[in-house]
Amino acid sequence: QVRLVMKAHSFIRENVPRVLSSVKDKSGIAHIPRISQYLYFLFAPTLIYRDNYPRNPTIRWGYVATKFAQVLGSLFYAYYIFVRLCIPQFRNSSQETFNLRGLVLCIFNSILPGVLILFLVFFAFLHCWLNAFAEMLRFADRMFYK
């Protein structure tokens, strides 16, 4: 939802001044973006609206398949981390009486798996997922990390 709100803000910020300047000039011709431009912007991995983006000439379907396979691999690896490292820590906690020592041990034993899952989410979504959609949309400006 935050991403969609940021995209809506960028779209409005780029287009409202153009429409208002054409109304002020009374030229009668307001450059309003087409629906296809807005839909492309919604799916493109960028937060800055432009009417046209640099485009690649072709789609490399092998690259797209590789990125989606990496997303699936990251999901399976996150599942493995949960099953092997996180769930055993909390399995017996409901049957034991509450004590501070047990809580601290559970938290410290969950820090490393939590960081690993955070890195997996970063890699799966921000790298693989966005690159796959950028390739399918032939989006050429791939400076996600700058």
Q: What digits encode the pLDDT tens for the residues 76-102?
A: 999 999 899 888 887 777 777 888 888
Please give the single-letter amino acid code of residue 34. Answer: R
pLDDT of residue 94: 72
Collapsing DSSP states into helix, strand and coil, what is residue 62?
Answer: helix
Q: Which two tokens stand for residue 146?
A: 């700058």
Check whether 31 has a pLDDT greater than 80.
no
Q: How far apart are the first and last CA of the chain?
A: 23
pLDDT of residue 89: 80
Q: Which two tokens stand for residue 144?
A: 């996600």
For 92-99, which contacts have Cβ atoms below 8 Å and span 24 or more sequence positions? none
Angle at 65 between CA 75 and CA 63, to 5 degrees: 120
In this prediction the pTM is 0.73
Cβ neighbours around 82 below 10 Å, total: 12
If we measure between CA atoms, which residue out of 42, 46, 39, 50 comes closest to residue 15?
A: 50
Cα separation values, 55 from 72, 104, 137, Å: 27, 52, 8
- Integer-rounded Cα Rg, in Å, for the chain is 23
Check whether 16 has a pLDDT greater than 90.
no
Q: Where are the domains of the chain?
A: 1-53, 55-145
Query: How many whole angstroms from its chain centre is CA 48?
Result: 14
pLDDT tier, 33 (very low <50, low <70, confident <90, very high otherwise): confident
> With contact defined as beta carbons under 8 Å apart, do 80 and 87 qualify?
no
